[in-house]
Amino acid sequence: MKRFKLAVNLIRSSKHLVVVSGAGVSVESGIPAFRGESGLWTRFDPQKYASLDGFTKNPGRSWHLFMELLVLIAQAKPNAAHHDLASLERCRYLKAIITQNIDGFHQLAGSQNVIEIHGTMRNLICTECKQRLSSRGMIFDSEDLPPICPCGGILKPEALLFGESIPSKPYFKSLKQIRLADVVLLIGTSGVVHPVSEFPEIALRHGARLIEINPEESVFTRPCNTLHLKGKATTVLGELKKALTTDSKEDQ
């Protein structure tokens, strides 16, 4: 409880709150995380299915993972955590969300300033002519994988694969937000993938405080002296939003 009140006060007095989100935020929408017992990487070896090298060698194989993600995203919708974050932005508490998620749910819930540092499944891009097309409604039979562009090139989601470099625009936009932040709220990320793995340390060097929402500990929890609010994103964010939008003298 003491931690929770401290977090409310930190957010309430913050001037530039930035959220860094990961797969855990969408778990309660029905999209599994990558790591952990029921994580996608227990069924899909990331090196084979989700790396540039694996895709180049066997794009049809990678497309089995991409199709599963496309179907999961099409069947799911933003949950209360996405909506609460959008509402915290509308109340001017939250300045930006840096997300590793590729489902577009923050924007669907109404968040405006969202930086998709790992790209998106919303679009497909031709590996030859670089033309982009929407993935909306695209369902391919497994014998038609990988899908091919009219130019003959292989299509790939605009989501980042391991071994691809982070596009500079979202990277520098994220860095700017992390340096401006006085409070960084880490939600539902294990924090093991570069460059997000570096962001808490950079934020700390710039004087920010870190709050984390996660039912488990992450690599940030202890070494970064993070204020860990242990729990699911929908539950903890719901309580935070309630406390922040209610004029409670007790919390001030």
Q: Which residues are catalytic?
A: 118
Q: Does 105 bind ligand OAD (CB under 6 A)?
A: no
Q: Does 160 bind ligand OAD (CB under 6 A)?
A: yes
The region of 28-36, 85-93, 137-145, 177-185 touching ligand OAD under the rule CB under 6 A is 28-36
The region of 11-19, 125-133, 187-195, 221-229 touching ligand OAD under the rule CB under 6 A is 187-195
Of all helices (H) and strands (E), which one includes residue 94?
Answer: strand 94-99
Beta-carbon contacts of 161 under 8 Å, excluding residues fewer than 6 positions away, are: 50, 51, 52, 54, 55, 62
Which amino acid makes up residue 181? A
Q: For the chain, give me the number of helices (H) and strands (E)?
A: 10, 9
Which amino acid makes up residue 151? C
Residue of 32, 65, 37, 31 whose CA lies nearest to 50:
65
Q: Which of residues 36 and 167 has its CB atom nearest to ligand OAD in the complex?
A: 36
Closest CB 250 distance from ligand OAD, rounded Å: 26
> Which of 18, 27, 88, 227 touches ligand OAD (CB under 6 A)?
27
**Three-class DSSP category at 43:** coil
- Residue 27 half-sphere exposure toward CB, CA atoms < 13 A: 23
> Which of 33, 126, 183, 186 touches ligand OAD (CB under 6 A)?
33
> Which of 107, 177, 218, 221 touches ligand OAD (CB under 6 A)?
218
The region of 63-71, 105-113, 215-223, 244-252 touching ligand OAD under the rule CB under 6 A is 215-223
> Which of 151, 163, 216, 248 touches ligand OAD (CB under 6 A)?
216
Phi-psi region of 23 (alpha: psi -120 to 50; beta: other; left: phi over 0): alpha
Closest CB 206 distance from ligand OAD, rounded Å: 22
Closest CB 197 distance from ligand OAD, rounded Å: 9
Q: Does 120 bind ligand OAD (CB under 6 A)?
A: no
**Strand spans (E) along 139-252:** 155-159, 183-187, 209-214, 227-230
Long-range pairs for 192-199: beta carbons < 8 A, 24 or more residues apart = 192/35, 192/219, 193/100, 195/117, 195/166, 195/171, 196/20, 196/22, 196/98, 196/100, 196/117, 199/20, 199/98, 199/174
> Which of 188, 208, 221, 241 touches ligand OAD (CB under 6 A)?
188
CB-nearest residue to ligand OAD: 24
Q: Which of residues 145 and 160 has its CB atom nearest to ligand OAD in the complex?
A: 160
- Residue 179 half-sphere exposure toward CB, CA atoms < 13 A: 6
Judged by the rule CB under 6 A, the positions of this chain that interact with ligand OAD are 22-24, 27-28, 33-36, 39, 46, 50, 100, 118, 160, 162, 188-190, 193, 213-216, 218, 232-233
